[in-house]
């Protein structure tokens, strides 16, 4: 409701009228209150009169010098006393948002700890007023966009919520990797069957059939009967560290070949799979400038030079 409008209910007891009452009570003068509120004196008087009518009692005693609270008015003031402070705090938050914005992105720790920093490298230089806040959770965890748990959710499951909008979708190819030291000491498998002769480190989701395409199910079956799974973890970042530390061979995003020079890729002919993911926003916030800037960045600059190692598309009708 705009300042100066009457309460839609006609009760005169809405929050804006209560704030007007609080300013009048503090200043003891309708004219001074109107000047501070940026309203006409008649509007302030009309709002106070409506409030008194809704209470069925006078809140102020008028005099030539101004106004003083009645007993009822003092009781009301005890309730409305914090409204001015709250209004100032809201203005402070509003001004802060205009100067600097936090965009929250939720996803797995692999997404939040690896994909986002690479994907958005350089973003802060062009958008210094935007802070990217990342919330990492377990793979498969659902983010409640309606409760504003995140501005953007990166999920491995296509959302079914009618209030969620898919602003983009991507695919991430995976293949097996080993540390350079491991490869030099033990060699690398040349077929998927030969993986049985090597210690394996794997993410919990790799044991589940049907998560990805390609050889995903074959590798899940192999893990189920593998004699030496040395490292089994629910953290994609922890798995990457384990492979680099020589725990064995294990799946990683294909783009790791470009970013982790201490790791050696095993040919995709041995093992390759593709995992799909989606970028999701709530329909009421998808047009907010800051999250939109991130979507635009991904659309135009997604991991330069990784052709064939990562694919991503932003829905053109949403940008």
Secondary structure (3-state) at 11: coil
- Given a cut of 90, is residue 178 above it in pLDDT? yes
Of 123, 167, 113, 173, residue with least CA distance to 306? 173
- Nearest-CA neighbor of 222 among 241, 264, 194? 194
H helices present in the chain, as ranges: 15-27, 30-37, 41-55, 71-80, 83-99, 109-110, 116-119, 123-126, 180-186, 216-225, 236-244, 256-259, 289-301
> In the predicted model, what is the mean pLDDT of residues 227-244?
94
Question: Residue 146 corresponds to which tokens in the numbers above?
Answer: 């309606």
Please name which of 231, 276, 267, 275 lies closest in space to residue 250, comparing C-alpha atoms. 231
Give residue-wise pLDDT tens across range 89-107.
676 566 555 555 888 899 8
Quick: pLDDT tens for 131-166: 999 998 876 667 777 677 888 888 888 777 777 888
pLDDT for res 302: 58
Average pLDDT value over all residues in the chain: 83
Tell me the C-alpha distance between 114 and 237, whole Å. Answer: 7
pTM of the model: 0.64
């Amino acid at each position: 409701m705009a300042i100066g409008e009457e309460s839609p209910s006609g009760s005169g007891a809405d929050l804006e009228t209560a704030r007007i009452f609080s300013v009048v009570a503090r200043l003891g003068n309708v004219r001074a209150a109107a000047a501070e509120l940026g309203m006409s004196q008649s509007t302030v008087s009309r709002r106070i009169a409506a409030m008194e009518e809704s209470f069925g009692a006078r809140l102020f005693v008028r005099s030539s010098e101004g106004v003083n609270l009645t007993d009822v008015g003092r009781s009301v003031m005890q309730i409305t006393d914090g409204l001015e402070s709250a209004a100032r705090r809201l203005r402070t938050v509003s001004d802060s948002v205009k100067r600097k914005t936090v965009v929250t992105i939720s996803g797995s720790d692999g997404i939040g700890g690896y994909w986002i920093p690479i994907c958005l490298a350089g973003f802060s230089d062009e958008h210094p007023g935007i802070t990217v806040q990342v919330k990492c959770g377990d793979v498969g965890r659902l983010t409640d966009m309606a409760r504003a748990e995140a501005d953007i959710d990166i999920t491995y499951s296509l959302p079914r919520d009618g209030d969620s909008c898919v602003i983009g979708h991507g695919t991430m190819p995976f293949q097996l990797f080993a540390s350079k030291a491991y490869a030099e000491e033990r060699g690398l498998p040349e077929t998927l069957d030969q993986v049985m002769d090597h210690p394996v480190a794997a993410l919990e989701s790799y044991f589940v059939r049907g998560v990805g395409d390609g050889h995903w199910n074959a590798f899940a079956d192999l893990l189920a009967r593998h004699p030496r799974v040395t490292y089994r973890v629910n953290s994609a970042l922890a798995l990457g560290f384990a492979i680099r530390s020589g725990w064995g061979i294990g799946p990683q995003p294909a783009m790791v070949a470009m970013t982790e020079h201490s790791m050696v890729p095993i040919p995709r002919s041995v093992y390759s799979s593709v995992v799909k993911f989606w970028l999701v926003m709530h329909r009421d916030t998808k047009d907010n400038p800051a999250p939109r800037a991130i979507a635009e960045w991904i659309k135009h600059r997604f991991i330069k030079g990784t052709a064939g190692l990562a694919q991503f598309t932003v829905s053109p009708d949403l940008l």
